[in-house]
Amino acid sequence: MQILKSISEVLEFRKNCTGSVGFVPTMGALHAGHASLIKKSVEQNDNTIVSIFVNPTQFLPGEDLDKYPRNEVGDTKICELCGASAVFFPDANEMYGKDEPLILAPKELSSSLEGALRPGHFDGVCRVLNKFFNIIRPDRAYFGKKDAQQLTIIQNMVKNFFMNLEIVPCEIVRESDGLALSSRNSYLGDDELCYALKLSRSIMKASNLIKANELNALKIKAAMSECLEPLKVDYVAIVNRNFEPIENVELGNTIILVAAYVGKTRLIDNLWV
């Protein structure tokens, strides 16, 4: 596995690739969820490139950019064990110039939920991914379904910009107790980890209600909100795949989402129905 530090090194590596190229963009602090993305790319492509970059343009003022967990040695080892061909550690000064144009996320998809609470976040995501897609020119790129709104926005961006690229959605990976894996779980103490389980339990509550043929969105959200007490909840939402609110669950076309704080740590989870 090659370790690439500059864009010129990536371009040289890419020039010498034969066969298909898979790309797994990450912000590091890799866990089993990231490993599942890398392994899927390795299975489906001749070459797999993983980027590890804590992207400053997708953090809002006051968010955890400076304290976001970083572990270059451990991340490199995970990439190697998963079979990646190369790992790219870009430098922010090389990735971003002065007064460059913004790549804006589509307003209809990015103005609600995460977009409403974190204005500009998705613009930063689209901005850095455009750069990565142009540098690496992958055949496929792999994203987790836990960031459901982000995944939808990326799929929309690729379609609208006519990118010759397949976006591969990957299932949420959970702990044995149901907690969705997240790099930010490392912020949680033992007591907070118990409270964090309220998110996955609210998702399981929704799933059980739907299995019992309860499809009314208001009733499902009320039951989920009860499961989440006493957490500070940013939202409980039931939307279709275009992120439009719906009154009743539509099987095969619904995402149920929750965002809440456990102490000072903001966590998200969702269920694709």
Residue positions annotated with a catalytic role: 34
Q: Flag whether 146 is marked binding.
A: yes
Q: Which residues pair with 4 in a beta bridge?
A: 88
Q: Which amino acid is at 46?
A: D
Q: Flag whether 27 is marked binding.
A: yes
Q: Which amino acid is at 235?
A: Y
79-90 burial, b at 16+ Cβ within 10 Å, e below that, comes to beebebbbbbbb
* 259: nearest Cα among 56, 117, 123: 117
Q: Flag whether 264 is marked binding.
A: no
Q: Flag whether 62 is marked binding.
A: no
Q: Flag whether 44 is marked binding.
A: no
Start-to-end Cα distance in the chain: 38
Q: Flag whether 202 is marked binding.
A: no
Q: Flag whether 149 is marked binding.
A: no
Q: Flag whether 150 is marked binding.
A: yes
CA dist 189 and 130 (Å) reads 36
Q: Flag whether 182 is marked binding.
A: yes
Q: Flag whether 183 is marked binding.
A: yes
User: What sign does the CA torsion over 243, 247, 252, 257 have?
Assistant: positive
* 53: nearest Cα among 84, 86, 77, 89: 89
Indicate the SS3 state at residue 236: strand
Q: Flag whether 181 is marked binding.
A: yes
Binding-site positions for ATP: 27-34, 144-147, 173, 181-184
Q: Which residues does the annotation place in the binding site for (R)-pantoate?
A: 58, 150
Where is the binding site for beta-alanine, in residues? Answer: 58
